[in-house]
Each structure stands twice: as C-alpha cells, then as structure tokens.
Amino acid sequence: MLSTTTLTHRWLLTVAGTAAVLAAAPGCSGQKTQNVSGVVTLNGKPLTSGLVRFHGPGDRMATANIQPDGTFVATDVMPGEVKVAVTESLISAGGARTTPNAAKSQGLSAPEQPKRVPIPPKYKDVSTSNLNYTITSSTGNLEIALQS
C-alpha cells in the first residue's frame, strides 16, 4: 500500500504536469478565433483554385480552399498579426480538389491527371509572400492580390 506522502507527491506531480502542458499549448490564450473570408486574385483576375494559409500568433495555422470564383472562408484564425501564403492545389478531371500527395496516393492516370494552377513561387511561403494582415473581430473581406 502506498503511503500518504507518496500519494501526495504523485498528485502534486500530476497537477504540475497538467498545468505545464496547458500553459505551453499553442492557441490556448483564451482569445476567440475569427472566421475570415475574402477573395484571391492573380493579376487582377480571381484565382480559380489553391489554398490560403494563415500563420498567426502562437504558431497557430488556419487554411482555406480557394473556390472557382476566387473566394475563400477560413475558420479558426487567431486574431492579431498574421502572415499569409497561397499555395497550389490540384483539381482532378471530375472537379474534386486534392493535394499533390493525395493525388499521387490515388494513382491518378494520365487522362485524369490533375491540372496545376500556377502561383508565383514567392507567395507559397509566408517568409517571402509579403502578405501580412491584422485580424480583428471587425475584419471584413480580405482582398489578397497576387502579381506574377
């Protein structure tokens, strides 16, 4: 049978460990996440596919698929300063969106090979995109304008 002292130490270690994990968890700042919508254009025309990635405070990331009309809706975006990247997605012949790895794993044949929608390389990484925004509860539609 365990002594009262041993049980007390175990309990204290459990409480301390739980507190440390909760304090270190990203995004647990108590801030309410925001839904962010908008449109992505390339050279003034709606980008017809792709993925918008929001990198926010506390290393939180949110993503949104770009629709054929260039619009997107991202959920769970942390308020504050965010950096944005826009990456390519693949569209199969049937119109279903997929990522490059998913397309490869599906073994798509030549007639159904997804089309690539090219995006200038600088926009694919938050460190080079220069797409920086401040997200607040009053953020309206974002216009993300890309140039080739």
Residue identified by tokens 């980008």 is: 47
Contact between residue 36 and residue 56 where contact means Cβ atoms under 8 Å apart: no
Q: How confident is the model at residue 114 (pLDDT cuts 50, 70, 90)?
A: very low
Q: Which amino acid is at 79?
A: P
Contact between residue 53 and residue 36 where contact means Cβ atoms under 8 Å apart: no
In CATH, 31-146 is 2.60.40.10? yes
Residue 13 pLDDT exceeds 60: no
Q: How confident is the model at residue 89 (pLDDT cuts 50, 70, 90)?
A: confident
pLDDT, tens only, 21-66: 444 444 445 678 999 999 999 999 999 999 999 999 988 999 999 9
Q: Hey, where are the domains in the chain?
A: 1-30, 31-146
Contact between residue 92 and residue 141 where contact means Cβ atoms under 8 Å apart: no
